[in-house]
């Protein structure tokens, strides 16, 4: 029997075929799961509906027999409580209950990302926290009545929430808050057997990664990580599917570091090789 046979869930955060959320969704669908998807709302004057179309293109890359596993695609602005309610209403209508929820959403104004953390604007800080952190709480609260017992929730973090990563700036503060929120949600939902975890992934070439200057980080991780390489989308897909499946029963409130071991290093390690010594 496939890992997700008979399982249904909601995927938040697919932007294109390089999205972490898509890598995880693909793995779930390959293992027999059924998914509902959301997309960023398109502007009223955008006749091409670019955001919706990007996700549709992802679904079209699935094998023909797998495309029916994508049950719906609806717009979702996580700053709009009415849209959250509408999305969950669609979940209830189309899926009844869900066994998993993937939250892969984060945003900060580019100007705030590019300035020193100390210069973060008040409005920019509130925006980044609302979209990147509170959205997890808001969606879980709205979905609490459609979660099946022993369901699993997963959010996406980064090492910049644990240690200072220059350039990650205000988003690092958001990830620290996201990880704390994840732990408190794990406590609140625990009596029903619902688990809440996070993956702290190394840098990947995604839309969000590009905005955060992932290029330099890829070189650093390749030289510093014990495995001597960067992670892949497929690896994130498999690890995410694991934490959303019954294979990870008993694990909650945890952060899984998927970074080739980068997070364990207390020095640059092999990255020092080749540097001239006086």
Phi then psi dihedrals of residue 7, to 5 deg: -100, 145
Distance from chain centroid for Cα 100 = 13
End-to-end CA distance of the chain: 61
Active-site residue 262, yes or no? no
Catalytic residue among 168, 187, 221, 262: 168
- Residue 158 falls in the annotated catalytic set: yes
Q: How far apart, in Å, are the Cα atoms of 88 and each of 10, 85, 92, 153, 193?
A: 9, 5, 6, 15, 20
Q: Of the listed 134, 158, 184, 221, which one is catalytic?
A: 158
Joined together, the tokens standing for residue 36 give: 């509902």
Which parts of the chain fold into alpha helices (H)? 20-30, 50-60, 81-95, 110-114, 122-129, 135-143, 170-189, 207-211, 214-224, 233-244
Beta bridge partner(s), residue 103: 12, 155
Q: 3-class SS at 98? A: strand
Instruction: Round the CA-based radius of gyration of the chain to a whole number and report it.
Output: 19
Q: Containing H/E element for 75? A: strand 70-75
Cβ neighbours for 164, distance < 8 A, ≥ 6 positions apart? 172
DSSP reduced 3-state for 133: helix
Q: Which residues are catalytic?
A: 158, 168
């Amino acid at each position: 029997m496939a890992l997700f046979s008979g399982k249904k869930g909601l995927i938040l955060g697919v932007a294109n075929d390089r999205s972490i959320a898509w890598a995880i969704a693909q793995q779930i669908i390959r293992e027999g799961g059924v998914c509902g998807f959301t997309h960023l709302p398109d502007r009223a004057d955008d006749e091409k509906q670019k955001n919706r179309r990007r996700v549709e293109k992802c679904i079209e890359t699935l094998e023909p027999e797998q495309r029916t596993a994508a049950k719906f695609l609806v717009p979702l602005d996580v700053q709009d409580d009415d849209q959250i309610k509408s999305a969950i209403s669609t979940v209830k209508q189309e899926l009844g209950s869900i066994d998993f929820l993937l939250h892969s959403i984060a945003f900060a104004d580019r100007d705030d990302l590019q300035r020193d953390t100390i210069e973060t604007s008040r409005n920019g800080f509130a925006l980044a926290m609302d979209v990147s952190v509170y959205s997890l709480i808001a969606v879980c609260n709205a979905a609490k009545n459609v979660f099946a017992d022993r369901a699993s929730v997963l959010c996406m973090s980064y090492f910049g929430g644990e240690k200072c990563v220059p350039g990650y700036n205000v988003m690092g503060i958001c990830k620290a808050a996201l990880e704390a929120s994840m732990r408190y949600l794990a406590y609140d939902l625990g009596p029903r057997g619902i688990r809440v975890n996070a993956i702290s992934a190394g840098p990947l070439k995604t839309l969000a990664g590009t905005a955060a200057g992932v290029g330099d980080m890829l070189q650093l991780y390749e030289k510093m990580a014990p495995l001597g390489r960067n992670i892949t989308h497929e690896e994130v897909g498999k690890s995410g599917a694991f934490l959303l499946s019954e294979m990870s029963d008993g694990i909650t409130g945890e952060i899984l570091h998927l970074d080739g071991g980068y997070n364990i290093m207390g020095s640059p390690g092999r990255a020092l090789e080749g540097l001239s010594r006086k």
